[in-house]
Amino acid sequence: MQSDNQNPKLLISACLLGHPVRYDGNGKLLDNSLLKTWSDEGRLVVAFPEIMASFSAPRLPCEITGGLSGDDVLGGRASIVDSHGKTETAAFIQGAELALKMAQDNNCHFALLTENSPSCGSSFIYDGSFTGRKTIGMGVVTALLIKHGIQVFSETEISMLAKAL
């Protein structure tokens, strides 16, 4: 049997596997042979951060306010609101904490998360204006995972993740 160091596990956004958990009730299937290989090897730990925090799918879109980032949300300097102005910060933090626990319980040192999300974005997120504008930043899950030593990659960085594994 291989050790975890030879066959490390990685946390993956459920939407990247086609699960209909995004705010619009859809998945964001990442069609890549590496995912099948990693799945066949038992390396994928599938996370549904918003669903684990009791959101439904579909739901109203949410963004981090003020062009800020996940670190700002965790530090209490920003909030996450839905498109009707309802604050959803606590639920997003809860989802991030549950995703972190899942990663730690499964000894994940890597994560593959979907870009642009207020939870999972790793390079870009929406700027909080609900106008479709993006800004450099990361979501709450990404910020919390990185804070705990887990390397995060977006779906556009799967080849970099493969090298890191």
Tens-place pLDDT, residues 62-118:
999 999 999 999 999 999 999 999 999 999 999 999 999 999 999 999 999 999 999
Band (pLDDT 50/70/90 cuts) for residue 1 is very low
The whole-number pLDDT of residue 2 equals 41
What number is the average pLDDT over the span 6-11? 89
Is residue 46 pLDDT above 80, yes or no? yes
> What was the pLDDT predicted at 5?
57
- Using pLDDT thresholds of 50, 70 and 90, give the confidence band for residue 7: confident
> At a CB cut-off of 8 Å and minimum separation 6, what does 142 contact?
70, 111, 113, 119, 120, 121, 122, 152
pLDDT digits (tens, 9 = 90+) for 117-135: 999 999 999 999 999 999 9
What does the mean pLDDT of the chain come to?
94
